[in-house]
Structure 1
């Protein structure tokens, strides 16, 4: 379309229909986003850049979880456990086996995908609440192993990870957050692009067919067993990548980072962002990543008049966390992605109401 705000999208060729973006406005928004991402290291200080890095890792994990829950309809409460598998695997291989970080991270992704496929086998027989309980069991089993198996941490309770080195290039302490930002940004963009294009393939469409109606999907030739197990494997692979990056970024691996609270947090990200949307996973990770930091800033500002708020900060965070989920479920169950779509539609069709 030649206009910036198109009133309709009309495709004349299949190639045009398959493009990820169809209007000039979408390309303008993409350009603005690229400028913002490139300018972030020069605008943000070290504290906020560290939060940005944490959000980028969370985006990878949220995208993986949304593939399973939002696109395939298989609920999972084992996100923290799969993060732990990726983190511990990469840390052990890089520190004890001496493998280069790219290789250890790749093996961690593959192993986490295999573990996810194994724990996804109950999905062949279970649905809904029963499947949620089964994945919760996987979370508890993995946590039991990482807490009790002394081989993993050699009895220390944690694993120290050396500074990240990739083919002779090492992260420097002086520019730690900046260098990690560029690395994580590149990986996150690659993950988002891969996930976005996954659902343009037959495999991705089989995931959505299982979500919408598995019996009908099987009737038209979709292999339900393969689709469900593959969805768990692909989702867990993304999550394992997030776990491995967490290990190398924090340089310390400990089980406290992968508890059930983390699983609930990631589930909240895709609920707030929007189930069944890659963009929604990104929005949800940004929202839930910024929420604690913004609350801390507000409490510090208000503590001058109400000093007791500082002591109640953890409780305030939990309360706001719960309220945010409830509000989105009641007001807009399809999350931030749907809100953003409504805003775009309003601008596109203004001054008309439709």
Structure 2
């Protein structure tokens, strides 16, 4: 028996991904979507803005989850694609008077291309070396955006102010509320796309590469194509999130997209559960609200309090929110049987 045949015989077959492995039940999903639609009607604009940012960061974390949880490629550079998407939307809106909704697919396509191209040289790297390469990308991006060559478009160090859109058709709602529902629709669409992607043949190829790259190649999977495709898809979704973030915050500047953002997105993925798509939004809530909670406990030691809270979460639930959801499901099943 040849070496390739031996590897192939030992590698488990790539089965279709179970629905519960990547998403919630239809009933739970319906309740969550209903709450997301109703809650903004009863809260202040600031809370609506925070909910909008939760969805936006959730999309960025979901994109990273597809790359890392789906294809097994570690990245600390998604903040760079977030920045490119944000600047693409901001420049198109403020300098070319393009409708804000039309800037988002452009941002997604631009970032998909950038991610696909970056994935080509990254094929030579894996593990910690790939993480370091993407770390370098995230570190370099803010400095690139400050270059004088790009200043006529990016505004240099000063950045660009973005106009927040009004509700169309004279709808009686605030700018924040309209943008929230606009973001919610896009989030649901991308979430459905992501779930279907991971269930598809391409998604199974991603996960085969994640589990055993050599065995995946032996089974006929074009490893190079699917790895670069995963980078492109992840970057594209991150670019759309960046564009939405620019519109919501109404401002883009190089120092808003530093390595801190990249680490925050990676942290959100770990807290939510690597490979579990609903956990992306739980991780997003963590990186948005927990720092505020830590500051409320102690303003002078907010960083230390945040670190302790993070340590406790990782220690108690090392698999993140996905582990909590699995335990809750087991308890619920026991209650139903009794």
Normalised-by-shorter TM-score class:
0.7 to 0.9
Contact 2:94 2:162 in 1 (8 A): yes
Contact 1:119 1:138 in 2 (8 A): no
Q: How does 1:192-341 map to 2 (within 5 A)?
A: 192-296=191-295, 298-299=296-297, 309-310=298-299, 312=300, 315-316=301-302, 318-341=303-326
1:295/1:171 CA distance change after superposition, 3 Å? farther
TM-score, reference length from structure 2: 0.86
Count residues in correspondence.
318
Contact 2:17 2:204 in 1 (8 A): no
Query: How far has the Cα of 1:346 moved from its partner?
Result: 1.6
Query: How far has the Cα of 1:124 moved from its partner?
Result: 1.1
Query: How far has the Cα of 1:351 moved from its partner?
Result: 8.7
Corresponding residue number in structure 2 for 1:9 = none
Query: How far has the Cα of 1:142 moved from its partner?
Result: 1.8
Corresponding residue number in structure 2 for 1:164 = 165
The secondary structure found in structure 1 opposite 2:318 is coil
Contact 1:163 1:170 in 2 (8 A): no
Gaps of 5+ in 2: 1-15
Contact 1:95 1:161 in 2 (8 A): yes
1:287/1:253 CA distance change after superposition, 3 Å? same
The more displaced of 338-347 and 52-61 is 338-347
The secondary structure found in structure 1 opposite 2:326 is helix
1:280/1:115 CA distance change after superposition, 3 Å? same
Query: How far has the Cα of 1:46 moved from its partner?
Result: 2.0
Contact 1:122 1:131 in 2 (8 A): no
Contact 2:54 2:288 in 1 (8 A): yes
Query: How far has the Cα of 1:171 moved from its partner?
Result: 9.0
**Structure with more relative contact order (C-alpha pairs < 8 Å, separation 6 or more):** 2
Corresponding residue number in structure 1 for 2:94 = 95
Corresponding residue number in structure 2 for 1:110 = 109
Corresponding residue number in structure 2 for 1:36 = 35
How far apart, in 1, do the equivalents of 2:259 and 2:137 lie?
11
How far apart, in 2, do the equivalents of 1:85 and 1:104 lie?
12
Query: How far has the Cα of 1:18 moved from its partner?
Result: 9.0
Corresponding residue number in structure 2 for 1:152 = 153
1:19/1:249 CA distance change after superposition, 3 Å? same
Gaps of 5+ in 1: 1-16, 300-308
